[in-house]
Amino acid sequence: MKTEIFQVDAFTRKVYSGNPAAVCILEKPLSSRNYLAIAREMNLSETAFVITSKEAMDSGIFELRWFTPRVEVPLCGHATLATAWVLFSEYNYHGKIHFKTLSGIHEAELVSDGVRLNFPQDKPIPVPIPEGLGEALGYSGNMRTFYGRKTAKLLVEFEQVSIIRKLKPDFKRLLSLKSDYEIRGLITTARGNGEYDIVSRYFAPWVGIDEDPVTGSAHTVLAPFWMERLGKKKIKAYQASERGGELFLEIAENNRVHIIGKAVTVMKGILFNDFA
């Protein structure tokens, strides 16, 4: 069987930056085992699998799943943006897209600033600093910790952007953190001091990703956290990984958040497989 597959850089205006995702176009679902095998072959932080049957193209409702090379994840922002971008730019889909996923229905539409995603927001609550966090991050100064219960992401607020940029986490120590709650990702963030309102980095060794270049799902936590503190309804955000990426955030109705970003297609190819 031959399957079209794309590689897309998400949350960026130029190639070789932002966060790369593979987008696999399927007419019918495969098994989870086969999805995982393809994700391992692509060896990117996430590979998206979208069902583009005639029924889906007619209704605008597409089944979508995301896999890292290690596990399936319930929500992935950059791979969702990449998938929407492929449907808009390569398949000439017009109108609002409804992605049916493990974490619910998520909308995507093409707007003047790029692709706008509609995700559930995850307002974090204050939590005690987990034992060993300072040592794992290599930082002994002031920090405050919060927790997104829907996404299982720990948010660490620092006083300056420069601190975030200099962090060099010990990922084995991160995996050994002791807390009373599950941790699937670690957001580090500070108020911006220039072009961007906020800056962040994101680490997720718990799902096989030491540092993610640009993370849409992390901004479902960051958006409500910072909008309350900054008194803003719109935020320009930057994720300060080596590749870097920018996002525009807006609070939407029904406790949801709009995440807006651009994307560029880097590669298009044919995946050969013998999956039944």
User: For strand 97-101 and strand 72-73, is the pairing parallel, antiparallel, or unpaired?
Assistant: unpaired
CA 161 remoteness from chain centre? 21
Q: Which residue has the tokens 């692709």?
A: 115
**Contacting residues for 69 by C-beta, under 8 A, at least 6 apart:** 36, 39, 40, 42, 43, 44, 208
Which residue is catalytic, options 41, 46, 55, 228?
Answer: 46
d(CA 247, CA 229): 18
* Long-range contacts of the stretch 26-33 (C-beta < 8 A, 24+): 26/50, 26/51, 26/52, 27/51, 27/52, 27/53, 28/53, 29/63, 30/275, 31/275, 32/72
Active site residue 107: no
Token pair, residue 29, equals: 């679902």
- Give the residue numbers marked as catalytic: 46
